[in-house]
A and B are shown apart, each in its own frame.
Chain A
Amino acid sequence: MANGVGTGKVTVPGVVLGGLLAIFVVISTWLFITDRYWFTELSSEHGASLDGVFIAVLIVTGIAFVATQGLLAYFVTRYGANGDEKASYWHDNPKAEMILIGGTALTLTILVFYGQLVWYDIYFTDPPEDSMVVEVTGQQFQWVFRYPGIDGEFGERNISLVSPTNFIGLDRNGAGADDIVALGQMHAVLNQPVTVLLRSTDVIHNFHVPHLRVKQDAVPGLTIENHFVATIAGEYEIACAELCGANHYRMKAALTIDETEAEFDQWMEEQLPFQ
């Protein structure tokens, strides 16, 4: 009988399985690259580099995906059982393995460095001095936005002051007198840096603006800073991306990026602080 010298056979189940894998590889790859299912329209400065990282990972994993699934498909098609023919008896090849491990390690190292460079200039660059500061408070199940007002200073907050009209327990005496509090609506100005201070009064929420590639948890007891610069004016959806209770799914808010300072100031006027 043959000892691995035989040819093997192309079997029906082998072909079906291999074929399925092939079809699946093609469709999957399409799903990942078609702009039908691409990110929402990019509207922030830092967003570009994030999408860049995604594409880099996509290329690396894409190659790995096609290569591995492809080989799998090929082998199952090619090496079906053939009578009592024996498979080729080999089970080690340190050299090949070291090459493959080395290759993977190298690719991943490059990936890590590229990804971390982007990660760093998102999390380790301070916002410019002139950036507008907005305090964003998540609570079951709404977003409350607070602007410091004319004095440019946020007033004190005291949880015991929370009431149906005073969502975040703002103390109207002192610096808080002119703070502007808006429920479910946030405004910012085109191409101007914005710093958001994320807080929560109950459970963990997540301040998520898909178009701006902004996503950051709002954790009770902490104040987490995040900043962005919007590059396209318009209305954007703000979502809560962290499970926070029954109505998590409709904890929404609207973000308006105004063309000009004027429009923004006008909106501010409308939000007269309630006494």
Chain B
Amino acid sequence: MTTHEEHAHPQLGFVRKYIFSTDHKIIGVQYIITAMSMAVVGGILSMLMRLQLGWPSAPSPTLEGIFPTGFAGGIMAPEFYLSLVTMHGTIMVFFLFTAVLTGGFGNFLIPLQIGARDMAFPFLNALSYWTFLLSCITILGALFVEGGAPLGGWTAYAPLSALPEMGPGQGDGMTLWIVAIALFTASGLMGGLNYVTTLLTMRTKGMSMMRLPLTQWALFITAILGTLAFPVLLAAGILLTFDRIGGTSFFVPAGLYTASGVAVEHSGGHPLLWQHLFWFFGHPEVYIVLLPAMGIASDILSTFARKPIFSYRMMVYSMSAIAFLSFIVWGHHMFLSGMNPILGSLFTVTTLLIAIPSAVKTFNWIGTLWGARIQFTVPMLFAVGFVSTFISGGLSGVFLGTSASDIALHDTYFVVGHFHLVMAVAPLFAAFAGIYFWFPKMFGRMMNMTVGKVHFWISFIGVNCVFFPMHAMGVVGHLRRIYDPTQYLFLEPVYGMNQFISIAAFILGGAQILFIGNFFASIWLGPKAGKNPWNATTLEWTVPSPPGHGNFGPELPVVERWAFDYGLPGAKEDFVMQTEAPSRVESGSG
């Protein structure tokens, strides 16, 4: 991050300033770049998965060179495929999105958008990043230990995850997985503590809660979600660890037959308990990923629609409603787990309830575009992409939420299609939008917008080719987490589709190289950016790009209005900064 050279602080040495910094902007960027590297790993893993799914067990000596064990004999081993799936899911959910959206954008934007000089607890903030980095290293370590990475999926269902004898990778690999998740949880909690405190106590004068940009609301609610959800995962992880190394039996019932004979020392545990604990965390987690994306997309949509967001209050209320409901829907992952069917019905009701606030948001985004004057910048394109993919994925969630139709679709690619559209693609697009949008504020330079456009068009077409057809496969019955679909005759109709998806996925993956290249090239070569390249209204655009240490200079800004005064009649320009006093606007000197 040597780009900040021009803002040297006499007092601080390079290392203090850019490596072990406690400046929220630096930490934000550190989060983003780390998460990005994790994304590349996760992306490559998924490409390997697609290779296997498209052309099952096709011999490839080259890969054998790279993964001698995983590709022993030039053909991918089943357990290797499954460890790819596990690592891909884990890395993408936690180490890409949770990290980039809350850790990255959260750190970078919160103080800048609420008019504070830094986070409430800068040191804790730095600590949270370094813990996160440690957890990244730990999870990657799982790929290299003896037995390889865990093969139990990112949901780590017990008893498969509870007894090392249950499969390769369930030994050291699984242990590392748990440690990594625990570290990640700790880091996430430190971050959340900081966000909530900062957002509540450090807003500048005039920045009432109802004047916050929606991104800030989203981050606020997300932080609370994390504070409530992460500890439960931690508790589950602790119990699981004791089952694995302490010989306790929380998740392990009596008399299991393992590779090494009967597991006599265990008795009395309950496998479904893990699922309940995991999903009590897991479902809020998916909204921890989605909410910040929603916030970012809302702000960017309004900015480039040059029109106020439609129904700001309902946006805030619906986000809160989603957050609340996300704690009482977890059972929708367990309809067929043997859980009491009565609960199944209850969870169906709560699950479909969530569709209502989501509907509200969807309608409001569309309403925002009604009568707008849309500027099709790259961030805007991605924001629209977000809305579209969220609708697709969200609606397919309704099939799953209805317990009766979930019987056919559970654990098929319908689910995979659903959550990729809504959790992989939508937040990814929002993240891309955010990066293109705030890059100038981060590095003082613009990204290359031509490359950006190409990146968008390929990605947009790509994701729809990759993930939408998965629903059709799921309807036909294509099971998830299977190494070789050609095992099943009833899947015959979708063999071809698998290849199509794989090819599309390779193109999609390739397109991401454009983004990464663009990102790093622009840090040094991008055209210099002014204070407010997008004519946006929020506080971060009132200061130079990038802002100096302390963000705002001697005087903190004073907020006079909400963040969405685009196209205000009577104003000189089609946007009014949050710091403009009403009087000054009437006199037209905006």
User: Do A and B interact directly, with beta carbons closer than 8 Å?
Assistant: yes
Residues of A participating in the B interface, judged by any CB pair closer than 8 Å: 3-4, 6, 8, 11, 13-14, 16-17, 20-21, 24, 27-28, 31-32, 36-40, 49-51, 53-54, 57-58, 60-61, 64-65, 68-69, 71-72, 75-76, 79-82, 84-93, 96-97, 100-101, 104-105, 108, 111-112, 115-116, 118-120, 122-124, 139-140, 159-160, 162, 169, 198, 201-204, 206, 208, 210-211, 213, 215-217, 219-222, 224, 237, 239, 241-250, 252
Going nearest first, the 4 A-B pairs with the smallest beta carbon separation are: A221-B253, A91-B308, A87-B307, A123-B341
Asked whether, in the complex, the Cβ of A71 is within 8 Å of the Cβ of B366, the reply is: yes
Whether the pair A245, B271 counts as a contact (CB closer than 8 A) is no
Q: Can you identify 15 A-B contacts, CB atoms within 8 angstroms?
A: A21-B388, A37-B493, A61-B399, A72-B387, A87-B373, A105-B356, A108-B353, A111-B352, A115-B403, A116-B345, A118-B404, A140-B167, A215-B408, A242-B157, A248-B78
Q: Whole-angstrom distance between the alpha carbons of A116 and B396 in the complex?
A: 18
The answer to whether B271 touches A221 (Cβ under 8 A) is yes
Q: A216: which B residues are within 8 A, CB to CB?
A: 336, 338
Is B494 touching A37 in the complex (CB atoms < 8 A)? Answer: yes
B residues near A237, Cβ cutoff 8 Å: 488-490
Task: Tell whether B140 is near chain A: CB-to-CB under 8 Å.
Answer: no
Closest residue on chain A to residue B390 by CB atoms: A68
Inter-subunit contact B410/A241 (CB<8 Å): yes
Please, how many angstroms separate the alpha-carbon atoms of A159 and B484 in the complex?
Answer: 31
Q: Does B217 make an interface contact (CB < 8 A)?
A: no
Closest Cβ of chain A to B331, distance in Å, is 13
With A57-B399, A79-B369, A91-B309: A201-B256 Cβ-Cβ less than 8 Å: yes
B contact set with A: CB distance below 8 Å: 77-79, 82, 151-153, 157, 159-160, 166-168, 253-259, 262, 269-272, 305-314, 336-338, 341, 344-345, 348-349, 352-353, 355-356, 359-360, 362-363, 366-367, 369-376, 381, 384, 387-388, 391-392, 395-396, 398-399, 402-405, 407-408, 410-412, 457, 460-461, 464, 468-469, 471-473, 475-477, 479, 481-485, 487-490, 493-494, 564, 566-570, 574
Given the interface pairs A202-B257, A217-B338, the reply to whether A79 lies near B371 with Cβ below 8 Å is yes
Q: Cβ of A111 and Cβ of B402 under 8 Å apart?
A: yes
A173 CB to closest chain B CB (Å) equals 19
Taken together as a complex, chains A and B put the C-alpha atoms of A116 and B348 apart, in Å, by: 8
Please name the residue on chain A nearest to B306 by beta carbon.
Answer: A87
Of the candidates B310, B369, B477, the one whose C-beta lies within 8 Å of that of A91 is B310
Contact A89 B567 (CB under 8 A): yes
Expressed in whole angstroms, the minimum distance between the Cβ of A57 and any Cβ of chain B is: 5
Contact B404 A104 (CB under 8 A): no
Given contacts A57-B399, A89-B569, could you give 9 more A-B pairs where the C-beta distance is less than 8 Å?
A: A54-B405, A79-B305, A91-B308, A92-B313, A119-B345, A120-B345, A213-B407, A215-B407, A239-B488
With contacts A80-B376, A91-B564, A93-B311 taken as known, whether A206 is within 8 angstroms of B360 at the C-beta atoms is no
B272: chain A residues within 8 A (beta carbon): 219, 222
Q: Are B490 and A211 in contact (CB under 8 A)?
A: yes
CA of A260 to CA of B548, assembled, Å: 84
Residue in chain B with minimal CB distance to A70 = B366
**Min CB–CB distance B396 → chain A (angstroms):** 8
Would you give the shortest CB distance from A256 to chain B, in whole angstroms? 15
CB of A233, distance to nearest CB on chain B (Å): 17
Query: Are A243 and B355 also in contact (CB < 8 A) when A50-B404, A112-B349, A248-B482 are?
Result: no
B212 CB → nearest A CB, Å: 16
Residues of B contacting A89 in the complex (Cβ-Cβ under 8 angstroms): 307-308, 566-569
CB distance from B517 to the nearest CB of A (A): 23
Contacts of A87 in B (CB 8 A): 305-307, 371-373, 566-567, 574
Q: Which residues of the other chain, A, contact B79 by a CB distance below 8 angstroms?
A: 245-246
- A116-B352 contact given A11-B376, A28-B468, A204-B160, CB 8 Å threshold: no
A223 to chain B, nearest CB (A): 9
Which residues of chain B are within 8 angstroms of A96 by Cβ–Cβ distance?
Answer: 367
Known: A17-B384, A221-B253. A119 touches B374 (CB 8 A): no
- Known contacts A87-B306, A108-B355, A213-B407; A246/B257 CB under 8 A: no
Task: State whether A80 and B374 are in contact (beta carbons under 8 Å apart), knowing that A108-B352, A243-B82, A246-B168 are contacts in the complex.
Answer: yes
- Whole-angstrom distance between the Cβ of A78 and the nearest chain B Cβ: 9
- Chain B residue contacts of A119, Cβ below 8 A: 341, 344-345, 348, 403-404
Selected contact of A86 from candidates B153, B384, B402, B574, CB within 8 Å: B574
In Å, the complex CA distance between A159 and B262 comes to 7
Residue of B nearest to A94 (CB): B311
CB <8 Å contact, B355 and A203 = no
Q: Which residue of A lies closest to B370 (CB)?
A: A75
Q: Closest approach, in angstroms, between the C-beta of A236 and any C-beta of chain B?
A: 8
Give chain A residues whose Cβ lies under 8 Å from the Cβ of B355.
Answer: 104, 108
Contact B405 A61 (CB under 8 A): no
The answer to whether B411 and A206 touch across the interface, beta carbons within 8 angstroms, is: yes
A68 to B366, Cβ gap below 8 A?
yes
B416 to chain A, nearest CB (A): 13
C-alpha spacing A252/B481, complex, angstroms: 15
C-alpha gap A139/B166 in the complex (Å): 11
B160 near A215: Cβ-Cβ < 8 Å: no
Inter-subunit contact A4/B569 (CB<8 Å): yes
Contacts of A242 in B (CB 8 A): 157, 411
Chain A residue, CB-CB nearest to B274 = A204
Q: How far is the CB of A24 from chain B (nearest CB, A)?
A: 5
Closest residue on chain A to residue B573 by CB atoms: A84
- In the assembled complex, which residues on chain A have CB atoms less than 8 Å from the CB atom of B336? 206, 215-217
Residue of B whose beta carbon sits closest to that of A108: B352
Is A39 within 8 A of B408, CB to CB? Answer: yes
- Report if A112-B407 is in contact (Cβ < 8 Å); known contacts: A54-B399, A72-B388, A93-B311: no
Q: Min CB distance, B410 to chain A, in Å?
A: 6
Q: Which of B381, B387, B464, B569 contacts A13 (CB 8 A)?
A: B381
Residue numbers in A under 8 Å from B348 (CB-CB)? 112, 115-116, 119
What CA separation (Å) do A238 and B575 show in the bound complex? 62
* A65 in contact with B376 (CB, 8 Å): no
When distances are taken between beta carbons in the complex, the residues of chain A under 8 Å from B359 are 64, 100-101, 104
Taking a contact as CB atoms closer than 8 A, the residue among A139, A221, A224 that contacts B270 in the complex is: A221
B301 to chain A, nearest CB (A): 11
Q: Is the CB of A101 within 8 A of B404?
A: no
Instruction: Decide: B255 and A159 in contact? CB cutoff 8 A.
Output: yes
User: Which of A14, A40, A51, A213 is B490 in contact with, Cβ under 8 Å?
Assistant: A40
In the complex, are the beta carbons of B371 and A88 less than 8 A apart?
yes
A53 and B398 contact, Cβ closer than 8 Å, known pairs A86-B567, A237-B489: no
B87 CB to nearest chain A CB (Å)? 14
Residues from chain B with Cβ under 8 Å of A169 in the complex: 257
Docked Cα-Cα span, A237 to B485, in Å, equals: 13
B356 and A108 form a contact (CB under 8 A): yes
- Residues of chain A with a CB closer than 8 A to B477's CB: 39-40, 210
Cα of A161 to Cα of B160 in the assembled complex, Å? 22
- What A residues does B160 contact at CB under 8 A? 203-204, 243-245
Give min CB distance, B198 to chain A, whole Å.
28
- Chain B residues with CB under 8 Å of A58's CB are 399
Residues of A within 8 A of B396 (CB): 61
B308 / chain A contacts, CB cutoff of 8 Å: 89-91
B490 CB contacts on chain A under 8 angstroms: 40, 210-211, 237
Name the residue among B153, B395, B461 with the largest chain A CB count within 10 angstroms.
B395
- Bound complex: CA of A21 vs CA of B386, how far in Å? 12
Known A37-B473, A75-B372, A249-B483; contact A81-B306, beta-carbon cutoff 8 A: yes
Q: CA A139 – CA B362 in complex, angstroms?
A: 45
B262: contacting residue among A32, A53, A162, CB under 8 A = A162
